[in-house]
Chain A
């Protein structure tokens, strides 16, 4: 059973608009929640994270929201740019362990 679910395999957004990527998790024991971005033929790269004691973290155009009661994590990208087109993985981490979701492919149309 998947502990981290990204229910939308793909998302298409117009340039300049907001992209919202969602992630649900089942295990409450993890301390950190992360988003990674992956371009074709490259490895995932860390994008932004949030610890379990916060509900929001912002870094430029990227904001991560954590709703612990709902076990829900989201990534907002505002404004979206064509260069944001990639696969986005959410992940939950604690100690040595990180569990990844299956990814959401974001297309940002110019």
Chain B
């Protein structure tokens, strides 16, 4: 079984709809991250969480919110989706003792029409 899972894998939605992307991990890591990937821009950090009570904004948090329901679960929400949020979204986890190595989920491809 995969260590980091994301649901859904693909989603098409309309402008203005609320969307939640979910991430679960079995690695036992405290640190979890949400990134988006756009062509030509690499991965950009949306939010990160060092434990259940610690949530922080990344470089592109506007239009997004997150919830850390448990050590293993970290959800990303788009309260009112807009077309420029069309992207590939990745969840990741890390252990603070491993040189910043992060473990990524398979990604969610989100299309906002």
Using a CB–CB cutoff of 8 Å, the interface residues on chain A facing chain B are 4, 6, 9, 31-32, 34, 41-46, 49, 51, 89, 91, 93-94, 96-98, 100-103
Contacts and interface: CB of A to CB of B under 8 A. Distances in A.
Interface of B: 4, 31, 35, 40-45, 48, 50, 56, 90, 92, 99-107
B101 A49 contact: yes
A48 B50 CA distance: 24
19 contacts: A4-B42, A31-B100, A32-B99, A41-B106, A41-B107, A42-B107, A43-B107, A44-B90, A44-B104, A46-B101, A91-B100, A93-B100, A96-B50, A96-B56, A97-B45, A98-B102, A100-B35, A100-B43, A101-B42
B3 to A, nearest CB: 10
B106 A94 contact: no
Interface of B is mostly: strand
A100 B43 CA distance: 6
Contact of B105 (A9, A43, A89, A102): A43
A87 B5 CA distance: 21
Given A34-B101, A96-B31, 14 more contacts: A32-B99, A34-B99, A43-B4, A43-B105, A43-B107, A46-B102, A49-B100, A96-B50, A98-B45, A98-B100, A98-B102, A100-B35, A100-B42, A102-B41
